Each structure stands twice: as structure tokens, then as C-alpha cells.
Chains A and B, each alone.
Chain A
């Protein structure tokens, strides 16, 4: 695969479909963890220059919590889960079942337990997602341990896009949005396959 622009309509649809199933699986896991109904949006596939990709997530300066992990080197892909910074305390409340104490949490000053809880969420989400992907493609995807950063969206996404930057001026990003009924949570789940991984995925899907 020379570039992301060679993809045809059917291949894009296939990517959306696997992402749909992967994200559905991940939403179920999140639902169980948080004991809330989590909905997942229809996936979007976006092929754009890096600067455009960053604009789509609400601007480079917006504070977000990002959990990032890498999938094994045979199929190099990045997975990023983004949560708006202001939702982090509420998210932690749901996880720990506490109320007033964590409401005042400054997302810049999480303790070790809170950080590790967020990392674990990303771990579980990515694991469920990759399970579905593996089932469809008959491959085993080994994710790294996620790393967490809470900062400007541009700074976080910039680092995530770097490995793709070595091979392309554009990124292909498959996006699913998670939300819950009261709209107090809306997280974004991104799959970023490098060209090499994309070829493997599409071959395995037979498109």
C-alpha cells in the first residue's frame, strides 16, 4: 500500500465495519465497568493531513486525557482513547463509586490510583476492540501497556501521529465516539493503522 488515498469505497466500508464491531465490543466492556449504558457512534474514517486531524478533535489546545498504546510490530497500529479533561473527575467518580471527594479533582493532579484506573480502562477498551479485530482477521494483536497523558489535545495527538509521519504526510484515522445517556461522558476511540498494518488488515478481510 503506497498511500492511504489508494483505498476504494469497499475497503473503507470494511474498515468501518470492523471498527464498528470492535468498538461495540469495547462499549460493552465499558458499560459493565461503569454500570451505565454506553452507546457507540457509527465509525468515521478520516484521511487527512496531520493538522486537519487535530482540528477534528476540537482544537489543539483543548485539555484531554489520552490513553495511548501500540500494537505489535508486524501490524503497526496505534490506539488512542481520548476523554475531555473536564470529564475526568466524573469518570473517576463512576469508577470508584465515590462522590464529593473526587468531584474537586484537578485533572492535572491525579494520584497514582486514579492514573492507574484510567490506564486500566484504556487497557480493557483496547483489549476488547482488538479481540474483535483479531476474530475477524484471524490474527493475534498484542497491545503494549497503555501510557497516559493529560494535556493539550494537539500535544497528545502530535506524538501519536509521529510514527505515521515517518511514512506518510497524511494519517488514516478510524474514529468511534462513546457516549452515555446523560451525555456526561463522551470519549473518542481512535485506531491509527500504519500503511503496513492497513495492508494486512485489508488482506485478511479479503477486500
Chain B
């Protein structure tokens, strides 16, 4: 049987059940957050681009931010039978693609995204199992809901599974 997959773009999210995998391409300073319930093998991914929904001026799309995006993902997974206490997380992304000669702190958005994601996971007491973060390169990721594995591809570093 060919394994099916679904795709999400920037500031989007989706949930899927085994054996369907979820793919997002071209993560730069954005972070792909994957949550998984290992018992019923349902998982979800959100492609967040900014750290904090409280700094946004109009928050219509909750999937855009680390805090509201993870919250949204938990809600949707639990609505579909997952148990919040069983959820585990894997994350990838948070690079810094452009290196401006005199960059100020607000420009280091990749790092701020990672911090916000980790804080939010901690807040919801979700264990972070693995991560592939930072650097200055883009990543494409595929999350397998059948076994919770996260495949990370990049142009300069090749493929790895976390």
C-alpha cells in the first residue's frame, strides 16, 4: 500500500491518522511543530511563522503563531480522540536564513520562534522528544503518524530521521 500524505503550507496546520503522513516544505525561520498521540496514532503539524499572537495586530489565523498554533493543534487532536496527557512533540526549523550585517534582536526571529515553541510545549506539559533546529538553512519535513518519526531534508545536509 502506498502511504498517503497531506501537505501544509506556511501558517497552516493539519491533523492526520495512521498511516497518513504530514509534509511541509521549505521551513526557514518558521518552525514545524508535530504533536502525536502514540496510543491511537493520530498526529498533527502546524507551520508557525511568528512567536507570539499577543504581538499580532489581528489574530485571525491562529496557526501563524507559536502559542496559539500549538493550542489550536492540541484542541483539534483532542477533539479527534487524542488524550492531551499522551501527546509528545517533535520540532524542526527555526533557522536564520539571512544574516544582516547589523541585525538587531527582532530580526533573529528563528530563535525567538524556537523559544516560544518550547515555552508553549512546557506550558501544556508536552514532552519534546526530538528537535532539529537552528542553523542557516531551510528544511522540508515529513511526519509519520504511524510511528511518530520525523524526516528532515535539507539541500546542504541531506536527509535524517529524528
Taking beta carbons and an 8 Å cutoff, which residues of A are in contact with B?
A: 49-52, 54-55, 59-61, 63, 66, 68, 108, 144-145, 147-149, 151-159, 161-162, 165-169
Contact = CB atoms under 8 A, between A and B. Distances in A.
B26 A161 contact: no
A61 B97 contact: no
A105 to B, nearest CB: 15
Contacts of B81: none
A153 B26 CA distance: 7
Nearest to A2: B58
Contacts of A55: 9
A158 B56 contact: no
Interface residues of B, number: 37
Given A152-B25, A159-B29, A50 B10 contact: yes
Most chain-A CB neighbours within 10 Å: which of B11, B55, B99? B11
Contacts of A51: 8-12
Given A158-B49, A161-B10, A166-B57, A152 B140 contact: yes
Main secondary structure of the interface of B (DSSP, over half): loop
Nearest to B26: A154
Given A159-B28, A159-B109, A154 B98 contact: no
B100 interface: yes
A19 B27 CA distance: 29
Given A60-B10, A152-B154, A158-B27, 20 more contacts: A52-B9, A66-B98, A145-B100, A145-B101, A147-B98, A147-B101, A149-B136, A151-B138, A152-B26, A155-B28, A155-B137, A155-B139, A158-B30, A159-B98, A162-B109, A165-B56, A166-B50, A167-B56, A169-B11, A169-B64
